């Protein structure tokens, strides 16, 4: 099928500006009363300069016509927004078949399921022990919500990294036939960059696993509230750890 080129709508206006600029330049250079360069009427150098200017001007106008009228604009990367749980699942699932990421993606999806279960268990337990209007309930609930935001912030970081990570490109680069074409220094730099991406993914998964562990500890501490002598829920060790973690994250984001 023959390719059909689409006219760039803003091109004609820009092209008129380009043509006007070329015309003004030629008039300035070739007018006897200005720079005095003549074609055929002066020295051989002047004639050659004048002809060269005309040829260059023609090439500039031709190239400008193609660039401004017919060349397709540079492709823009699609903007992906992660707002719901389903958005995150969809984003992770796009990388599920990448061999080097398969285990990490499966773990991230599993972590999302687990944090939903832990949040539900915590809210159910809090609902049995406190009235939703109580200050203690609100403090617990606030920390749980903020920790969940932190969890998904780590997932978003993973997705942002993976959006610019091309595992297939590295696989081609690291193939034995390709490796011999490049210097050892270049191969080392490329490999280091590749491992930097993977390290970030694994680091974020590790941070989320720590969050899940702290939520388990919080569940245990809430069940033991009756046998503890805490006068304030903020004195509970796990609540202090979670509050500190949330504070550090907010400080880092500023």
Q: How confident is the model at residue 17 (pLDDT cuts 50, 70, 90)?
A: confident
pLDDT of amino acid 46: 64
| Structure tokens that stand for 167 in this block | 């595992």
* φ and ψ of 183, to 5 deg: -70, 155
pLDDT of amino acid 82: 75
pLDDT of amino acid 75: 44
**In the predicted structure, residue 143 carries a pLDDT above the cut 50:** yes
**In the predicted structure, residue 124 carries a pLDDT above the cut 80:** yes
Residue-wise pLDDT tens digits, 146-188: 999 999 999 999 999 988 877 777 666 666 555 567 777 877 8
**In the predicted structure, residue 98 carries a pLDDT above the cut 90:** no
pLDDT of amino acid 254: 45
**In the predicted structure, residue 227 carries a pLDDT above the cut 70:** no
DSSP letters spanning the chain: ----PPPPTTHHHHHHHHHHHHHHHHHHHH-TTTT---SSSS-HHHHHHHHHHHHHHHHHHHHHHHHHHTSPPPPPPPP----SHHHHHHHHHTTTT-GGGHHHHHHHHHHHHHHHHHHHHHHHHHHHHS-TTSHHHHHHHHHHHHHHHHHHHHHHHHHHHHTT--HHHHHHHHSHHHHTTS-HHHHHHHHHHHHHHHHHHHHHHHHHHHHHHHHHHHHHHHHTGGGS--SSGGGSHHHHHHHHHHHHHHHHH-
């Amino acid at each position: 099928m023959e390719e059909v080129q689409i006219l760039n709508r803003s091109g004609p206006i820009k092209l008129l500006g380009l043509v006007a600029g070329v015309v003004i330049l030629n008039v300035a250079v070739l007018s006897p009363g200005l720079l005095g360069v003549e074609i055929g009427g002066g020295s051989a150098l002047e004639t050659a300069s004048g002809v060269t200017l005309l040829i260059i001007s023609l090439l500039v106008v031709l190239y400008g016509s193609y660039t401004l009228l017919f060349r397709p604009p540079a492709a823009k990367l699609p903007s992906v927004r992660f707002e719901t749980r389903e958005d995150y699942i969809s984003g992770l699932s796009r990388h599920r078949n990448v061999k080097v990421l398969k285990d990490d993606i499966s773990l991230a999806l599993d972590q999302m399921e687990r944090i939903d279960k832990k949040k539900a268990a915590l809210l159910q337990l809090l609902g049995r022990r406190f009235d939703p209007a109580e200050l203690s309930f609100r403090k617990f609930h606030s920390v749980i919500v903020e920790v969940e935001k932190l969890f998904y912030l780590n997932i978003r970081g993973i997705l942002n990294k993976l959006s610019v990570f091309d595992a297939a490109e590295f696989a081609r680069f690291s193939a034995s036939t390709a490796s011999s074409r490049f210097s050892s220094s270049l191969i080392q730099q490329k490999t280091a960059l590749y491992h930097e991406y993977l390290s970030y993914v694994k680091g974020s998964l590790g941070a989320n696993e720590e969050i899940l562990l702290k939520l388990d500890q919080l569940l245990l501490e809430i069940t033991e509230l009756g046998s503890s002598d805490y006068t304030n829920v903020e004195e509970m060790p796990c609540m202090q750890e979670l509050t500190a973690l949330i504070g550090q994250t907010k400080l880092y984001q500023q």
